[in-house]
Amino acid sequence: MEKKTIHYLTLNMIPDIGPVRFQVLLSHFGNVEDILTASAAEITRVHGIGEKIAQAIVEKRNQVCIDEELKKIEAANARVIILEDEEYPLNLKSIWAAPPVLYVKGSLKEDDRLSISLVGTRSASSYGRKMADKFAQDLVRYGLTVVSGLARGIDTASHLGAISAKGRTIAVLGCGVDVIYPPENKGLFEQIVQHGAVVSEFPMGTTPESFNFPRRNRIISGLSLGTVVIEASIRSGALITTNYAVEQGREVFAVPGGIDSRLSAGNHHLIKEGAKLITCVEDIIEEIGLLVQTLKQPPVPEVKKDIELIDDAEKKVYSLVQDEPQYIDYFIYNSGMSAGQIASTLLQLELKGFVRQLPGKMFVR
């Protein structure tokens, strides 16, 4: 395993460094190795990190048993993808504070960029399980990958539907990839590894604690072009996933249920709030069709443009624009400019022909 990957793993295993602090530290120091060798005083100078956190980082990084972690990864037949790797999923890379490390069992493919997540209650009704199975099968027949969370109920039915239609599916865990939860899904876990991937940002051996699942949910929505709520009560954790989807500029869909069904109350709330009501997979394809078509098109030959035609602020933002789509939050975070300034600058760059905007407020050269 490369030294840089080991450095990423070490930092990811420090409890006081989550994805946001990781990005802040990386932006300040410029590379992961310097973070691991910096003194507490140097870390304290990082914006937003106080003396107490800096001291905790220094103490706990020396307690990380990286050799044990590497042994566990090998024993589980897993591998690690870091944010700088080409294989890192592009959809996920574009979200705010993307997970710096992904543990993976199975395979991630470029075509998985065309993914839709299916989420919902663990206490699914027969109607909910039927809809999850139907939408999963129909999505993979259109060549899309189904993303879900391996939980009981809707998640399980979604993964099974995708596999039964011989499609790809990705399960995102709220625990380590060497921990199967729920335990009755052991067989399904192994099938997903063969038909896609099991993914987690959590170190090996991490148990499925309740506070892990919101972080899991942001990855589910982040991997996907859109999130479909199959069946969810008003307090369902599936609605956390849709909140992340909205923040990430992704589409939100909801399957209607009976108006007297408690298990569909969350769906109906989402529809009232603007989620697209869907009754068949074609409703999803209609909404994301332009984006799917754009992503499948061959790259347009680059036309050289005179960089002197743009001002300093535009040059700063343009330097962040890549050949792969990036969500607008990426530019806000990496430029230090306000959301309003970024929106205005990107518009000017688009009008001058330097950038192209894709659906979902994503931008490419």
User: What pLDDT score does 110 carry?
Assistant: 92
User: What pLDDT score does 304 carry?
Assistant: 47
Q: Give residue-wise pLDDT tens across range 270-303.
A: 999 999 999 999 999 988 875 666 555 444 444 4
Pairwise CA distance, residues 10 & 7, whole Å: 5
Q: Give residue-wise pLDDT tens across range 126-178.
A: 999 999 999 999 999 999 999 999 999 999 999 999 999 999 999 999 999 99
Residue 351: count of CB within 10 angstroms of its CB: 9
Please answer whether residues 28 and 54 qualify as being in contact, where contact means their C-beta atoms are separated by less than 8 angstroms. Answer: no
Over residues 211-232, mean pLDDT: 96
User: What pLDDT score does 310 carry?
Assistant: 82
Q: Cα-flanking dihedrals φ and ψ of residue 43, to 5°?
A: -70, -35
Pairwise CA distance, residues 242 & 250, whole Å: 9
In the chain the domains, ranked by start, together with CATH numbers, are 1-64 (1.10.150.20), 103-294 (3.40.50.450), 307-364 (1.10.10.10)
Looking at the DSSP bridge assignments, the partners of residue 117 are: 147, 227
Q: Give residue-wise pLDDT tens across range 300-346.
A: 444 445 677 788 888 888 888 887 778 788 888 888 888 888 888 88
Closest to 80 measured CA to CA, from 253, 256, 203: 203
Q: Model pTM?
A: 0.80
Please answer whether residues 82 and 32 qualify as being in contact, where contact means their C-beta atoms are separated by less than 8 angstroms. Answer: no
Mean pLDDT of the chain: 90
User: What pLDDT score does 301 carry?
Assistant: 44
**% pLDDT > 90, the chain:** 65
Pairwise CA distance, residues 159 & 189, whole Å: 9
| Token pair listed for 321 | 């624009």
